[in-house]
């Protein structure tokens, strides 16, 4: 057995995380490196065997009480040799004392249960070119940059269990990202972001007060990328969101389970039409 070392990954090394995620056919966003790393600069771990990267895992801290695991990958030549579990333990130590969430692929869910995670719901990835009709005329969809960031961050907290301002400030501003908000009766009623990925664009978050608001946001996001397929990770407990995806002609292509160690956080689940990411929550 060679020398195996786990170190904190810098922002440049995040490229490796994204390349491996692409190899796993997770279809990450092309520009995820910077906002992901900003979420927790100490929360990304790269395992090297004889100085060659072989494992990855992220353990992002949000606030004082919440954390999220992602990018749990071992390269095929070292699988089953105990390196990945060492990286996992390092990640969980980083999140010690917190409620921890993750999105687990089907093949790993039993392992996560043995580590104390319990399934809250499944995320179904719906993908395709949406057949989006014209939205309701009383809903205005505008660039998220026109809204004061503090207002946007406060709205985002309704749907996420902790502040994530460093991440969010980049998420809405990166070149190629389309970030929109929906306003109805003078109130902020929805928020959506589409970002370029290896295949098409990933949409997340998609937060909306109603089906009409979600439809208006999807209309705007799709119009910014005419003819381009979109992919959304939709919580299956939001029956209205599932119905909307199917009505738009999108098809399920991938499934994973949202799991937590200490129970489901209090969030506006009916308003979540698509998760922000399956890597960072």
Q: How confident is the model at residue 88 (pLDDT cuts 50, 70, 90)?
A: very high
Would the pLDDT of 154 be above 90?
A: yes
116 plus 152 within the same structural domain: no
Q: Domain range spanning residue 234?
A: 126-274
Same domain, 255 and 197: yes
Contact 22, 154 (CB under 8 A): no
What domain count does the chain have? Answer: 2
Residues 139 and 97 in one domain: no
Region of residue 157 (left: phi > 0; alpha: psi -120 to 50; beta: else): alpha
Q: Does residue 279 form part of some domain?
A: no
* 16/151 same-domain check: no
C-alpha 113/C-alpha 98 separation (Å) is 17
220 and 252 assigned to the same domain: yes
* Residue 27 phi, psi (nearest 5): 55, 60
Q: Are residues 216 and 260 in the same domain?
A: yes
92-104 pLDDT, tens digit per residue, is 999 999 999 999 9
- Statement: residue 6 has pLDDT above 80: yes
Which residue, among 32, 204, 62, has the nearest Cα to 127 in the 3D structure? 204
Q: pLDDT for 110-124, tens place per residue?
A: 999 999 999 999 999
Residues 214 and 137 in one domain: yes
> Residue 144 and residue 271: Cα distance in Å, rounded?
18
Do both 108 and 142 map to the same domain? no
**Residue where one domain finishes, among candidates 69, 97, 121:** 121
Asked if 270 and 143 sit in the same domain, the reply is yes
User: How many other CB atoms are found less than 10 A from the CB of residue 93?
Assistant: 9
131 in the same domain as 86: no
Specify if 132 maps to a domain: yes
Verify that 134 and 269 share a domain, yes or no: yes
Residue 1 confidence (pLDDT) above 70: no
**Mean pLDDT across 41-58:** 97
Domain boundary (57, 91, 121) is at 121
Find the CATH number of the domain harbouring 130.
3.40.630.90
CATH number at 66 reads 3.40.630.30
**Pairing mode, if any, of strands 139-143 and 178-184?**
antiparallel
Indicate whether 281 belongs to any domain: no
The model scores a pTM over 0.85: yes
Q: Are residues 231 and 249 in the same domain?
A: yes
Confidence of residue 132 (pLDDT cuts 50, 70, 90): confident
């Amino acid at each position: 057995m060679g020398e195996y070392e786990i170190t904190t990954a810098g922002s440049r090394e995040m490229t490796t995380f994204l390349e491996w995620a692409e190899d796993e056919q997770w279809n990450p966003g092309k520009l995820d490196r910077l906002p992901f790393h900003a979420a927790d600069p100490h929360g990304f771990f790269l395992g090297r065997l004889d100085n060659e990267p072989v494992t990855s895992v992220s353990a992002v801290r949000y606030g004082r009480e919440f954390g999220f695991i992602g990018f749990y990958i071992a390269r095929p030549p070292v699988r089953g040799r105990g390196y990945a579990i060492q990286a996992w333990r390092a990640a969980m130590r980083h999140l010690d004392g917190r409620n921890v969430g993750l999105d687990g692929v089907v093949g790993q869910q039993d392992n996560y249960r043995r580590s104390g995670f319990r399934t809250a719901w499944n995320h179904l990835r719906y993908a395709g070119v949406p057949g989006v009709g014209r939205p309701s005329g009383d809903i205005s969809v505008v660039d998220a940059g026109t809204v004061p960031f503090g207002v946007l961050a406060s709205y985002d907290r309704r749907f996420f269990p902790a502040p994530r301002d460093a991440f969010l400030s980049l998420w809405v501003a990166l070149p190629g990202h389309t970030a929109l908000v929906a306003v109805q009766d003078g109130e902020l009623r929805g928020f959506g972001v589409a970002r370029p990925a290896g295949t098409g664009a990933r949409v997340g978050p998609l937060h909306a007060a109603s089906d009409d608001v979600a439809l208006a946001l999807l209309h705007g996001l799709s119009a910014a990328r005419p003819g381009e397929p979109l992919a959304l990770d939709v919580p299956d407990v939001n029956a209205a969101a599932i119905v909307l995806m199917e009505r738009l002609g999108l098809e399920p292509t991938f499934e994973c389970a949202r799991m937590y160690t200490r129970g489901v956080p209090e969030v506006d689940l009916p308003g979540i039409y698509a998760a922000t990411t399956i890597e960072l929550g």
